[in-house]
Structures are given as structure tokens and as C-alpha cells.
Amino acid sequence: MTRVGWIRLVVIVAAIAALELACRAGFINPKVVIPPSEMASALVPLLASGQINDDIARTLGVVTLAAVLSVVFGFALGLLIHALPRVREALDPYFATYYAVPVFIFYPVMIAIFGFSPWPIVLIGFATAVVAMIIATLNGLDRVPRVLTKVARVHRLGTLATSLKLKLPAAAPYLFTGIKLSVSYAFVSVIAAEFILSSAGLGREIADAYNDFNNRRMYALILLLLVIASVVNSALHAWDIRWAKRRGITTA
Amino acid sequence: MAAADAAHASLSGVTRVFPGTAGHPPVHALGPIDFELKRGEFFAVVGPSGCGKSTLLELIAGLQRPTEGTVAFEGRPVSGEVPDGIGVVFQEDASFPWLTVYDNAAFGVRQNGVAAEEVRRRVDDALAFMGLKDFARAYPAQLSGGMRQRVCIARTLVLQPHLILLDEPFGALDAQTRLLMGDEVLRLWRRTGATVLLITHALDEAAMLSDRIGAMSARPGRFMDIIETGWPRERDSTIVSEAAFGDITGRLWENLRGESLKSLGISDRAVE
């Protein structure tokens, strides 16, 4: 492991140890926060019991669907908007202020249209994540060196071949940033939407445990979500670093 | 052979005017130019910054269309598409960072539907010729600037062009590497028998490499003087120590000094 990796690990371990000590020593009321070791010991039997398997599958399925839709449509819309400079000029202020609007305010409309199905949650995840992908695509395409367009013409590549064989891979590092953001935004918004919109899923389970004053179950589920989110993001980050290193654009 | 057949590429009455944009008038960048590139020669173009050297190259390559006049390559008009048989190496690093050196070199020829065995033969040959054989599996980020430029030259070589257009390919390299790259290009020129057009701002590079050198005026660029160097085909960077080399660079500078000042907006008198 690199020195930076060790520092990263030490920070996490120290934070967990500090929380553990603070809870055990009574600096934090155990009725409010339980020690991390108890969260873990509550999570293991919960997972082993299979009680939350359906919720895990549902939440991950909805997050995956929202993230995939965001990436695919975000990339396609980014390509289209990049090819239409006037449309882009008109839309730029909306993109710049998009995240000032809480997408959740539309949840009553979503329920009115789609009912209590997973679709309102997928759409909220999608609506939160898609603009990050559009912006990343525009950003990436802006940074494709002009000389590559000339190289494409020297090799007599058509518009589609130029996009797929040169522009897409040239813009890939920025697109990957968009993918990482889309996955994170989809994850956060889906969990939050499950709190208020859903009858199932990990977000709903956490809300129910909270309402029942079942701290052990609530913190076990929060820990599970933290682990899932960390694993997914770490995997994407590792893939990104590995790819970027090969292209000589990493600083890590 | 008739004189017209000897011209590998030709420009007649070519001008290039870039249309005005909001608040800015049109820019007359080049011409009118009448010029013939002889088959198999090494021709360099020098001139002050902004005189239209790269525009001239892009017109010959078919990357731009002339505002007036005609461009022809191997007797056929060039009209907005790069003809078969022309290879271009640009000043900027145009290697593809996501591909290995081997795949970079093979990129163009794979687009042309050449059989895999032939692709392998041509790429191996080009990489060996450019001294990149041991780096075939490396990525451009693992190479120096000079080596990345050699990758781009290898990608062009694999296409077996009859006319190689070099747009300041050594502009970003240090002086010593440029001299050595010059030797590489001379070796390439002799081996392929291709016609080479080199755009450069370096008078010594032009004097060392070329059979003929065209000195261009400040914008709108026109040829003010075309100098025959008289170098033998078998030559390398050691000719920089010959007396004739100093004479050629001296004549080029005599032509270009006033034009360079003009392009900077400074009068001769102000300098004196």
C-alpha cells in the first residue's frame, strides 16, 4: 500500500476509534449513537437472517437503473447539446443553477403520475444525476484537442466514427468523472427518496427503524449503506486511477 | 515527362480569406499563390508568425478549401477531403493516449480495411524504422515528447503516403532533439521516396533539411523567394558546419527580417 493509502486508512480507523471511545466513555449518549462495534455486531445477524435481502436488492436495483439512465441519457444529451452551440448557450444558465433546485419538491407530482411504484424514485434519482453527466460530457468534449479532429479528417473518419473512435476516448477521463458523480447522486437521492416515497428499500427500513426507536437496527442499516457506498465509490476511484495512470494524467 | 506531370502538388491562384466574425473584418490570410511541389523533393516553407504557413499546408492536405484558385494533388483537384496518398504530421502531440504505441501506429491503416497480416507487417516495419520497436506496448504517457512525435510519424508512415506534410513537427522539442529528429526525417524521406513539405519557423532546420525553401511574406502570405539549397540527397545534420549552410540561412534571414518585423507591427527604422 502507498503512503497516501496508509494515511487514508489511518484517518478512517482513527475516526471509528474516536467514535467508539466517545460512546463507551459516555461523551455521546448511547441512546443517540451506539458504538461502531455494536453497529457491526447488529448488522451481521441482520444480514444472516435474510430479512433485508429484498430491500437491498430493490435499493441497489433502483440506484443502478437511475445511474445507468443518467449516464446514457446524460452522455447522449451532452453530445447533442455540444453539437448545437446556440442551444448550449441558452441552456448554460440552467445547468449552472440546476442544483440550487431541490428535485424532491416534485415528488407529489411523481406519485400522482406513477403511484407508489419504484418509478418516482428512479426518476428522482435520474433527475438528480443526469445533469452532472451532461455537464461532464460537455466539459470532456470541450477538452478534446482540436488536432484530433484534424487527424480524424486525415484518416477520413465520418462524424460517427470520429465521435466513437476519437472524441469519446479522448473525453473519457471527464466522462468518467460524470459517471462517478452520477452514481453518487443517484445513490444519495434514491436513499433519500425511499425515506419519504417508498414502502420498501433500505431508505424505508432506516426510516421505519428510526420511527420505532430501534437504534441498533437503524445504525446497522446506516453502516450497511456506508459500506456499500464506500465499496462502489472506491471501486470506481481505483478504476479511474488505474486508467488515468496509463494515460499519464494522474497525480495520485 | 511533361512539366505538369512532374508537379506532385500544385496551387494556382490560391487565396484564403477567413470570413469576418462579429465586429471583426475578414482576414486575408494567404495568396494569391502559384506554386508547384516537385515529385520526390524536400520543400520547406519558412515565414513570419501568422503568415499562413499552416493554412498553406492545410489547403494542400484538403483540410481547408481555398477562397479562390485551385489545389491539385497528383493531377486531381483537392476539394475539402484529404486525398489518398497524403500523410500529415502536426505540431501538436496527436498521439492517442488511450492506445499503445503499436495501436497508435496501426490506427490509420486499420480504418482502411487492410488485412491484419499486412497491418502487422507495416506497423512492425514503421516502428522499427522509427526506433520504437521496444516501446510497442508502451502508452504515449510513458514516452518523451520526441518519441511521441515519432509515434505520429510512424502512424503516417504506415499509410505509405506519397506526399508527407509536416506542420512544424519539431516545434515543441528542444534544439538537440530537433537536430536528431531532422536526421530521422531525412532518413524517412530517402527511404520512402515520398515528397515532403515541411512547415517550420526555424531557418536552420529548413536550410539543413530541404532541397528548396520557400520564404513567405507577412500576411497575406506569398512566396517572396524560393531558394535551391543544392544539397546532395545523402545528407544529415553535419551539413550545419558547411559554409553554404550559413549562406542559405543568411539569405533567408535577409528575406524574412523585414517581414517578421512587419508581422510584429514594428518598422525597420524603429529597430535601428
B43 beta partners: B197, B212
Of residues A154, A166, A246, nearest to B82 (C-beta): A154
Residues of A in contact with B88 (CB under 8 A): 150, 154
CATH superfamily of A48-246: MetI-like (1.10.3720.10)
- Per-residue HEC secondary structure of chain A comes to CCHHHHHHHHHHHHHHHHHHHHHHCCCCCCCCCCCHHHHHHHHHHHHHHCCCHHHHHHHHHHHHHHHHHHHHHHHHHHHHHHHCHHHHHHHHHHHHHHHHCCHHHHHHHHHHHHCCCCHHHHHHHHHHHHHHHHHHHHHHHHCCCHHHHHHHHHCCCCHHHHHHHHHHHHHHHHHHHHHHHHHHHHHHHHHHHHHHHCCCCHHHHHHHHHHCCCHHHHHHHHHHHHHHHHHHHHHHHHHHHHHHHHCCCCCC
Closest Cβ–Cβ partner in A148, A248, A249 for B94 = A148
> Which of B57, B59, B89, B92 is most worth mutating to test chain A (most A CB atoms within 10 A of its CB)?
B92
Residues in chain A: 252
Q: In this structure, are strands B195-199 and B42-46 parallel, antiparallel, or unpaired?
A: parallel
* Closest residue on chain A to B138 (Cα): A246
A157 touches chain B (CB under 8 A): yes
Contact (CB<8Å) A151/B94: yes
- N-to-C CA span, chain B: 51
User: Could you give all domains of chain B from N- to C-terminal order, each with its CATH number?
Assistant: 3-20+27-85+161-271 (3.40.50.300), 95-160 (no CATH)
Of A147, A153, A154, the CB nearest to B92: A147
Decide if B1 touches A, using CB distance below 8 A.
no
**pLDDT tens, position by position, for chain B (272 residues)?**
444 446 889 999 999 999 887 778 888 989 799 999 999 999 999 988 888 899 999 999 999 999 999 999 998 999 878 998 999 999 888 999 999 999 999 998 888 788 899 999 999 989 988 889 999 999 998 898 888 988 999 999 899 899 999 998 887 677 777 777 888 888 889 888 999 999 998 888 888 889 999 999 888 889 988 999 888 888 887 888 888 888 888 888 887 887 777 766 666 555 55
Q: Which residues of A touch B107 (CB under 8 A)?
A: 155
Tens-digit pLDDT profile for residues B13-51: 999 999 887 778 888 989 799 999 999 999 999 988 888
Q: Is the dihedral angle over the CA atoms B135, B136, B139, B140 positive or is it negative?
A: positive
**ipTM (interface pTM):** 0.83
Q: B80 to chain A, minimum CA–CA distance in Å?
A: 10
Cβ atoms B38, B6 nearer than 8 A: yes
B141 in reach of chain A (CB within 8 A): yes
pTM: 0.76
B82–A249 CB contact, under 8 Å = no
Question: How close B89 gets to chain A, by Cα (Å)?
Answer: 9
What residues of A are in contact with residue B63 (Cβ under 8 Å)?
Answer: 150, 153-154
CB-count exposure of residue A64 (10 Å: 0-12, 13-18, 19+): middle
**CB-closest option in B82, B92, B98 to A156:** B82
**How many residue pairs from chains A and B have C-beta atoms closer than 8 A?**
55
Per-residue pLDDT of chain A (252 residues; tens, 9 = 90+): 788 889 988 999 999 999 999 999 989 988 889 999 999 999 999 999 998 999 999 999 999 999 999 999 999 999 899 989 999 999 999 988 888 888 888 888 888 888 878 888 999 999 999 999 999 999 999 999 989 999 999 998 988 888 888 988 898 888 999 999 999 999 999 999 888 877 888 999 999 999 998 989 999 999 999 999 999 988 998 888 887 777 766 544
Nearest to B123 by CA among B96, B102, B98: B102
Q: In this predicted model, what pLDDT tens digit does every residue of A89-129 receive, in sequence order?
A: 999 999 888 888 888 888 888 888 888 788 889 999 999 99
Tell me whether residues A157 and B81 touch, CB distance under 8 A: no
